[in-house]
Structure 1
Amino acid sequence: MQLPPQHSYRITGFSPTLSAAFRQKLMAQGLLPGTCFTLVRVAPLGDPLHIETRRTSLILRRKELALLQLEAIEAIEAGDETC
């Protein structure tokens, strides 16, 4: 899945292949199902990716972000307090 910078996404779940330990690590960093984030920028060679949630700014590798099930959200919805 191509993720263009400055777009917002909602986490809908985790990949079934994700280990329980890594799932716990992501959840401890605030990446829970239902959480919205914005892709701020992509490094020049395409990896890593800088994302921001309401409380956290994180740098993740593309393969780590691929383990999240995502849905794109509209710009109007991104400003919604439910995210």
Structure 2
Amino acid sequence: MTLDQLQPGQRAIIVAYQAVDRGVRKKLLSIGLLPDSQIQYIRSAPLGDPMQIRSEGSNIAIQKSLAAMIEVKTL
């Protein structure tokens, strides 16, 4: 399952990144979306993009296309 497939309020753990280049991986790491991190999908913008997620107490907005590259395991 990928991050973009979660429902609002759902919690998950980041398992891996799918087909991301070095720059994207660096960006994900810099905003705190680390493998084994627990996240919660809060909500999406009115048109569905970007998505708001919470990770380690911080709220993060992430594009849905990028969220589709993050493999998660639901809790």
Uncovered stretches (5+) of structure 1, i.e. residues with no partner? 74-83
In the superposition, the TM-score normalised over structure 2's length comes to 0.88
Report the 3-state secondary structure (helix = DSSP H, G, I; strand = E; otherwise coil) of the residue aligned with 1:13: strand
Question: How far is 1:21 from its partner?
Answer: 1.0
TM superposition outliers: structure 1 runs of 4+ over 6 Å = none
Are positions 1:26 and 2:28 aligned together? yes
Backbone CA RMSD of aligned residues: 1.1
In the superposition, the TM-score normalised over structure 1's length comes to 0.80
Question: How far is 1:39 from its partner?
Answer: 0.6
| Residue 46 (structure 2) aligned to one of 44, 47, 51 | 44
Identity of aligned pairs, percent?
A: 28
Separation (CA, whole Å) in 2 of partners of 1:31 and 1:54 = 9
Uncovered stretches (5+) of structure 2, i.e. residues with no partner? none
| Residue 9 (structure 2) aligned to one of 6, 12, 31 | 6
How many positions carry a matched residue from both structures?
A: 72
